[in-house]
Amino acid sequence: MIQAHLWRAAKLYVAAPALRASVYALALALLLAHSYVSARAAEQIILVVYGDSLSAGYGLSERHAFPVRLESALKARGHGVRVVNASVSGDTTAAGLARFEWSFPKHADGAILELGANDALRGLRPDITRANLDALITRIKAKGAEPLLAGMLAPRNLGVDYTKAFDRIYRELANKHDVLLYPFFLFDVAGKRKLNQTDGLHPNPAGVEKIVAQMVPIVEQLLTRIAAHHSKTQ
């Protein structure tokens, strides 16, 4: 119930531009704090989805958003997990980095980092995207959380040089930081009319379900890594 009210408050971010910074920041901070307390009370693993509109649930009801559906799928497989939605529609990697310190929960156990789509859509320099993601992975680890990097592919109309430079970012960063990689968040969903909303860019509920089903195995690998880390620190 509390989360539902906070979610509606966060919608003011879109409905009232003048209140964006203050209202959205407060609503998200309260939501993350509530999620942390609730999860710790039940001794659940806390996973944070830190991304843009693709994972935030743009155009969907809260119950159809990626974090909610992922949590449901993981619980159905017997995992005691709380998945927190810390994604913001429209975020570039730079925006995600700028808000990190106040919007990333301090006691998260793991994180799915899903950013970069808006960088590519805007044709931003791949080296800047790389540097921002590099910094985000470093900061997530510094918070004591285990990252899973969700990759993105650049639109093919940006040319061969751009797409090559952009597409290799995720694999190279995953290798550098020794983190798990899901190569393409929209794998087998992008470009499929039945799996996307009318804008052709954002997954509809069926598209979200497909993404979740495809990602569950690697998220379970993330949970294994988290469990191994906990055993070493106890």
- Catalytic residue positions? 53, 199, 202
Indicate the Cα dihedral angle 126, 129, 134, 138, nearest 10°. Answer: 180
The strand pair at 110-114 and 45-51 is best described as parallel
Q: Which of 116, 117, 108 has its CA nearest to residue 139?
A: 108
Q: Looking at the chain, list the stretches that DSSP marks H as alpha helix, in order from N- to C-terminal side.
A: 2-10, 12-15, 25-41, 53-56, 66-76, 93-98, 100-103, 117-121, 126-142, 160-177, 205-233
Determine contact, residues 133/113, Cβ cutoff 8 Å. yes
